[in-house]
Amino acid sequence: MDDEYWMRHAFALADRAEREFDEIPVGAVLIGADGQVLGEGWNRNIADHDPSAHAEIVAMRQAGGALGNHRLVGCTLYVTLEPCAMCAMALVHARVARLVFGASDPKTGACGSVFDLVADPRHNHRVEVVGGVLGDEAGRRLTNYFRAKRGRPLV
């Protein structure tokens, strides 16, 4: 799989979150074992009044509907920011095979930064994790979103 290609696709989704909904710009796309897009999403917490509507959850819900199954076996999730604990455990429960993320999250990251929930040996499923794909660009995009909100110069 072309990790950078799909990460750029996730960036485009993150751009929509910011541009169309003024949401924190995080985007996610879930690719099936056959290489087809099964689900995509961006943060919708504010727009949907839903604390669970993170980009990863939105993409996984769409994929589950497309497959007619709550298991996303053999799939890869691309997301611009390292998943939080809620999203990390959703990946485990859905049996996602592989996670590729852009920027690490030093505050709430749960896939290697603050916590490493997906690798915990007590789970009956492990998710392969590749972090830092286009990570500098992913981090800069998020930093600039928050800097703009605070009226500070972009980096």
> What angle (nearest 5°) sits at the alpha carbon of residue 120, between those of residues 133 and 139?
25
> What is the spatial distance between Cα 63 and Cα 59, in angstroms, rounded to a whole number?
6
Mean pLDDT, range 114-135, rounded to an integer: 95
Model confidence at 140: pLDDT above 70: yes
Burial pattern 40-71, b for ≥16 Cβ within 10 A else e, equals: bbbbbbeeeeeeebbbbbbbbbbbbeebeeee
Mean pLDDT, range 79-106, rounded to an integer: 98
Q: What is the pTM of this model?
A: 0.96
Mean pLDDT, range 12-16, rounded to an integer: 97
Residue 6, Cβ density class (10 Å: 0-12 exposed, 13-18 middle, ≥19 buried): buried
- The pLDDT mean for the chain works out to 96
Torsion over CA: 92, 55, 7, 62 (sign): positive
Mean pLDDT, range 67-77, rounded to an integer: 97
Contact 61, 42 (CB under 8 A): no
Mean pLDDT, range 103-117, rounded to an integer: 96
pLDDT tens, 18-66?
Answer: 999 999 999 999 999 999 999 999 999 999 999 999 999 999 999 999 9
Q: Which one-letter amino acid corresponds to residue 58?
A: V
Contact 130, 100 (CB under 8 A): yes
Q: Which two tokens stand for residue 141?
A: 């995009």
pLDDT at 1 (0 to 100): 58
State the catalytic residues.
56
